[in-house]
Amino acid sequence: MKGMSIELKPEWKRFKYRGKTLEELLNMPMDELVKLFPSRSRRSLARGFTPSQKILLSKIRALRKIMQQDPSKENVVIKTHVRDLVILPEMIGLTIAVYNGKEFVPVKIIPEMIGHRLGEYSHTTKTVHHGEPGLKASKSSLHVAAKV
């Protein structure tokens, strides 16, 4: 077994997006990368970034430069209201707190999220858990006859 390299993951378990590895995606120019995305994301990126998206991307790129110089800044969170930005390969590994209308929900960006939107991972509604009628469920249910 001399001279053989040991692979940590089998080929089928490594992350690929449309047949491209993460390293290939990171080195790919933006126009080639856009061709790999689904049609809605392609159309959105072809129109260009909005001013708020440009600001967020500049913050992400600045944080990347800081992280390269000082690895202890790894757990820095960027807060944003931008929910419609398509997740790009350069965002992987960051934690972005996305506003859901009430609070900022931290979203850890992983490779499987490429091509989706930030808002998809910060839900704006909760599941409803109703109480029992007559037991502090609402004002109207206070007048229900007591259980015998």
Residue pLDDT, tens place only, 3-18: 555 556 676 678 898 8
Q: What pLDDT band is residue 1 in, cutting at 50, 70 and 90?
A: very low
> Distance between CA 12 and CA 5 in Å, rounded?
17
Closest CA to 98 of 107, 90, 89: 107
Quote the mean pLDDT of the chain: 85
Q: What pLDDT band is residue 74 in, cutting at 50, 70 and 90?
A: confident
Do the Cβ atoms of 87 and 117 come closer than 8 Å? Answer: yes
pLDDT tens digits for 27-41?
999 999 999 999 999
Do the Cβ atoms of 87 and 95 come closer than 8 Å? Answer: no
Q: Which CATH number fits domain 13-143: 3.40.50.2000, 3.30.860.10, 3.30.365.10, 1.20.210.10?
A: 3.30.860.10
Residues in the chain: 148
pLDDT value of position 117: 95
Q: What pLDDT band is residue 129 in, cutting at 50, 70 and 90?
A: confident
Question: Rounded to two decimals, what is the model's pTM?
Answer: 0.76
Q: What is the largest CA-CA distance in the chain?
A: 83
Residue 64: count other Cβ atoms within 10 Å of its Cβ: 13
Do the Cβ atoms of 88 and 53 come closer than 8 Å? Answer: no
pLDDT value of position 73: 77
For residues 58-83, give the mean pLDDT: 90
Between residues 136 and 122, the one the model is more confident about: 122
Q: Which helix (H) or strand (E) holds 57?
A: helix 51-69
> Distance between CA 125 and CA 27 in Å, rounded?
37
- Using a pLDDT cut of 70, give the percent of the chain over it: 80
pLDDT tens digits for 85-127?
999 999 999 999 999 999 999 999 999 999 999 999 999 998 8
**Taking 90 as the threshold, does the pLDDT of residue 132 lie above it?**
no
